[in-house]
Amino acid sequence: MSAPIKNPAAETVPRQPGLAGLAADWASDQRTFKDVSWGKAMMWIFLLSDTFVFGCFLIAYMAARMSTAVPWPNPSEVFALEIGGTHMPLILIAIMTFVLISSSGTMAMAVNYGYRRDRRKTAALMLLTALFGAAFVGMQAFEWSKLIAEGVRPWANPWGAAQFGSSFFMITGFHGTHVTFGVIFLLIIARKVWRGDFETERPGFFTSRKGRYEIVEITGLYWHFVDLVWVFIFAFFYLW
């Protein structure tokens, strides 16, 4: 009786240690991220690049604020609201922050139920997350309209340094665009989850193999990133 023929492809090639192993992995014909799906790996790479963009914006803001000789507007006064005759500093910003941070909680629960393959709870929590995001964008639109009505422009503002307007519209506008795209993406994936596309493998964008809800986690990675960036914007722009 002849010995069974070994399949070379089935044999596991031991990894080399150190830099030689790293070079071998990158030079091989295999995926560099061997234990991570392409979708998740690409999202992490996108978020890393986006981190540099937001970091450059915030560093530019700090440089502009510290270098200008003209007094910088007081955020507590600029972003205050009069409610019932009471002057309330940063009340709208506090509500916006609470809403966005709360959306991270609902998104985390959606990911949890997604891996449990509970599509109805997953879709409902994603829709709730999208509702929080839409509320945030709506409040940001109100904030923009209020400041524009008071005379704030990208090139000037009535309270001092002209760089305030350009910094405000650039940073909050860029972040608000991210939130808007996140809301759209949440609605698309929630619809597919609710419809059962990840169980029937219905053809279309973002549909993976049967029973795999990894796209929900990928969406969550993006949403948590957007929330984390807002924490830094809140600290540097509104509290400083």
Per-residue pLDDT of 107-146, as tens digits, reads 999 999 988 888 899 999 999 999 999 999 999 999 999 9
Residue 28 lies in a domain: no
Residue 72 lies in a domain: yes
How many structural domains does the chain have?
1
C-alpha 79/C-alpha 77 separation (Å) is: 6
Q: Which pLDDT belongs to residue 10?
A: 41
Residue 209 is encoded by which pair of tokens?
Answer: 């193999």
Q: What percent of the chain has pLDDT over 70?
A: 81
Q: What is the CATH number of the domain that holds 125?
A: 1.20.120.80
Residue 25 lies in a domain: no
Residue 80 lies in a domain: yes
Closest by CA position to 129, among listed 14, 6, 222: 222
Helix, strand or coil, per DSSP, at residue 52: helix
Among 18-22, 42-46, 78-82, 126-130, top mean pLDDT goes to 126-130
Q: Which pLDDT belongs to residue 9?
A: 41
Helix, strand or coil, per DSSP, at residue 153: strand
Residue 79 lies in a domain: yes
Whole-number Cα distances in Å, 77 to 62, 65, 236: 19, 17, 16
Q: Which pLDDT belongs to residue 117?
A: 87
Provide the CB-side half-sphere exposure for 163 (13 A, CA): 15
Nearest-5° angle of CA 134, CA 140, CA 146? 140
Stronger pLDDT, 3 or 135, i.e. the higher one: 135
Q: Which pLDDT belongs to residue 110?
A: 94
Taking the model in full, what pTM does it have?
0.81
Pairing of strands 86-88, 81-83: antiparallel
C-alpha 126/C-alpha 102 separation (Å) is: 12
Residue 10 lies in a domain: no
pLDDT in tens, 6-36: 444 444 456 667 777 666 655 554 555 566 6
* Domain span holding position 177: 34-238
What average pLDDT does the structure give for the chain? 84
Q: Which pLDDT belongs to residue 7?
A: 42
Least confident of 11-25, 52-66, 148-162, 215-229: 11-25
Could you count the other beta carbons within 10 Å of the beta carbon of residue 126? 31
Residue 74 lies in a domain: yes
Stronger pLDDT, 207 or 54, i.e. the higher one: 54
Residue 16 lies in a domain: no
